[in-house]
Each structure stands twice: as C-alpha cells, then as structure tokens.
Amino acid sequence: MNETAYTNRRTKLLEMITEGVIILSSAPTKTRSNDTEYSYRQNSDFYYLTGFEEPNSLLILSKTKESTRTILYVEPHSDEYALWNGAVLGVTNAQQQFLVDEVHNIIEYPNHIKEILRDHIHLYFDFLDDSHHLKVAQNSAKELRETRGVKLHVRTFGDATYLVRTLRLTKSHEEIEAIRQAIELTALAHHEAMRVCKPSMREYELQAAMSYIFGVNGVKSEAYGAIVAGGNNANTLHYVRNNDTLRDGDLVLIDAACEWELYASDITRTFPVNGKFTEAQREVYNAVLDVQLRVIEAIKPNVKRDWLQKYSEELLCQALIDLGILNGQCDALLEAKAHKKYAPHGIGHWMGLDVHDPCPYTDDKGESLCFTTGMVMTIEPGVYLRIDDESIPLKYRGIGIRIEDDILVTDEGCENLSSVIAKSVEDIEGMCRG
C-alpha cells in the first residue's frame, strides 16, 4: 500500500466531520505470561489510516473551517532499546516516510494535547479505548471547559471507529489485491492438508502442515486460530483443541487462513480423512454446497444482506427436509426456527483488515445495508449433525460440514476470490489423491 492511499483515507475521514479532533491510538502490547509478550499486531483502524505498525503511537487529525492538520506521535529512537529489541523508526524517519503534517515524540503528547483541543467542540475517539493517552485527552478537554476565557471547548464526543469502519466497508483495488494474496497462500495450505491427510494422523499434524506452507511463503501471521476438527468434533463450531486422532471413514473440517499485509482471508473446507466420501457424506456435502452456490449466485449490488440471510436459511431448511433430517412444511419449520438446531450460525460476515471486519451492517436508520461494489463478505453455510442426536437418520450422525469462501461484490454481480480452492466432491477427492 503506498502512502498516498493512507493520505486519501485520512482526507475522506476528515470530510465526514464538520470540525473537531479525531484521536486514534495504536494497539497496546499484550503480556503472554510474566515478562513475555504475544507477537505484536497493530490496531486495524490505526493501520488503515497510517500503515504504521509500531506500538505506543498516536494519530491525531484536526479540522477547522479554515484548515486540517495531521499529527503522528511515535516512539523515539533509543540505542539501548535497539540493542535488545531492534530499532524503531523514530521521529526523523517517520517524518520522511509518512505523508503527515507533523511527527513528534510520543513523550510530548501530554504537553501538546490541550493546545490541539483548544477551540474545538467535537472530540472523536474509540469508545472502547481505555489507554492512558485517551485519558490525557479527556482530562485536557475537561480543564479547557473549566478554564475562564475559553469560549469554545469540547462539548460532544463522537465514535471515531464507526466513521473509520464505514470507510473500511468498501475495499480499494490495493486492499483487494492484498486479500487475493492471502487467499492464494491459504489455497496452497488447504490443498497441502488434503494431500497429506490420512487415517491415524492427529488433527494438529494437519494444522502443522498448513502452518509450514504459510511460513515458507513469508506469511507473518495466520488470520485466526485454526479449527481442524475430525469427525464429530466438527459439530463444535469453535473447536480449537486440534489434538484428536483422525479416523478412517470420518470427515475433517478445516477452518484456517492467513493474513497478508494485515488483510485476512477466511476459508473452510471439509473433506474425507481417507480421501473418499461415503454416500451419506456426499449427500450432506452436496446439499450444503448447493446452498452455498445458490447464495453466492444471488450476491450483487443493491441486494440487502438481511435478505441474503433469510434466503440462505430457506435453502438450508429445505435441504434438511430433503435429507429427511427435518419433517414438515418449510415455512412452519422456519417460523419455529427448527433449522437452527442444525444450521445455527449466520451465512457470513464482512472481511478485510479483520477476519470479522467490524464494519456496520445497518445504516443510520437501522436498515440493513445493500451490497455495493468493493464489499467483501464470507459465505459459509454449514450443517452440523451431532453423533448423539437420535432424531437424525443413523447414516448422517456425526457429520459436520461447513464450506466457506470469500466473495467480492462487483459491478455485475460478484466474484468468488477463493474459487481456486478445491470444493466439489470430485475436485476434493482428486486433490486428496495428490
């Protein structure tokens, strides 16, 4: 992503407000145990506006009727810190690299913020931010309000993240290309898992095979904790233990993907441990696949996401009736939510800098958003048939299937960004044969 892209995003953000100050902070470092930390991952909103990946940094945007101002606060260079942890960019290098008006040492922020807030009436920030930096800004706003002679002071607070995430909803060409790259590498990993899988392996061995593919291809981080669920484990939606034995005759559900330049992919495939679907597995699998293909086909601009969810539930309910898992009229079963026992989750979610991109799903009136060109959403129907559910035909018990792809809304309709990953019964069996 070039620096102009970040500048354009900041400009668009400032165009969304009449005047005021926007403060966004970097993600904090997080302790794993005692004095060791998790690998650092930048706050997505902060990264979206800056491209800066270091902790203990701040972005401040201010706007008046006459002008705008962009200030970045960063950690200064320290020889001692560089010795132990590696050099940070520092003030001088950050000023040269980033197209902002000013770059300052983060230590100077408490002395600057009161002057920055002076004569502004709106302050925008992340409502969930409990950092020291935000408390300093709030205290400065309070002091200005109580200072004689200050005619204008902060009197309203706004949600900065809602504004940023509204912008994040529509992806640029550069963002889509980053997502494509993440998916391309994720495809290699899923295909490797299909090729190496065999009975008696452990779930974590498949996870390790995928992680190896990610690592040797330069992936810095996986997009989320992998799910590798053999047999009935697939019927636990967020199964992450990944330590069971893969059994001959079972399916294995893998929900795993990587990030590229912090942009996520999110892919699920379900395939036979021994490389060959049983007749019962094929029946359920093809029923779920048919639902997914029909839902994807319906995606185009001006279609509402709420309608897509309703449509997907109708298709899943009818599929469960056709399989003999549910009995009755589809409308009545939908009204009673009987299908939710076997298809409990939504059809998909926004995806981008976060695997579950926290962009809005409704407009200011609470109405479901329509799809527009540049939105990216996962489509992931699933059917989960627990092994201990005696109401299910015996041949289907223990089968859990989810199929998930990443879909880009286009001017004409949509594009399945992950279509390269084996998905039909025939393609999966061929990939399993290597």
Catalytic annotation, pick one of 35, 66, 80, 364: 35
Catalytic annotation, pick one of 266, 354, 357, 406: 266
Residues 166 and 350: beta-carbon distance below 8 Å: no
Catalytic annotation, pick one of 259, 386, 402, 405: 402
Catalytic annotation, pick one of 175, 380, 405, 406: 380
Catalytic annotation, pick one of 79, 238, 390, 412: 238
- How far is Cα 153 from Cα 140, in angstroms, rounded to an integer? 10
DSSP symbol at 245: B
Q: Is 266 a catalytic site residue? A: yes
Catalytic annotation, pick one of 175, 404, 405, 406: 404
- How far is Cα 42 from Cα 56, in angstroms, rounded to an integer? 10
Q: Is 384 a catalytic site residue? A: yes
The set of residues, in sequence order, having a beta carbon less than 8 Å from that of 409 and lying 6+ positions away, is 299, 300, 301, 371, 372, 373, 374, 375, 376, 377
Catalytic annotation, pick one of 349, 357, 386, 396: 349
State residue 322 phi and psi, 5-degree precision.
-60, -30
**The two three-digit tokens of residue 231, written as one number:** 């047999």
* 3-state DSSP assignment of residue 414: strand
**The two three-digit tokens of residue 258, written as one number:** 């990587």
Beta bridge partners of 105: 74
CA proximity to 252, closest of 272, 281, 235, 279:
272
Residue 356: what residue type? H
Q: Is 322 a catalytic site residue? A: no
**The two three-digit tokens of residue 248, written as one number:** 């001959």
Catalytic annotation, pick one of 222, 255, 313, 406: 255
Q: Is 380 a catalytic site residue? A: yes
Catalytic annotation, pick one of 6, 73, 384, 396: 384
Q: Is 143 a catalytic site residue? A: no
Q: Is 356 a catalytic site residue? A: yes
Q: Is 130 a catalytic site residue? A: no
- Please count the other Cβ atoms lying within 10 Å of the Cβ belonging to residue 255: 24
What's the Rg (C-alpha) of the chain? 25
Catalytic annotation, pick one of 132, 294, 345, 433: 345
* 3-state DSSP assignment of residue 58: strand
Catalytic annotation, pick one of 224, 356, 397, 429: 356
Q: Is 132 a catalytic site residue? A: no
Q: Among all residues, which ones are annotated catalytic?
A: 35, 238, 255, 266, 345, 349, 356, 380, 384, 402, 404
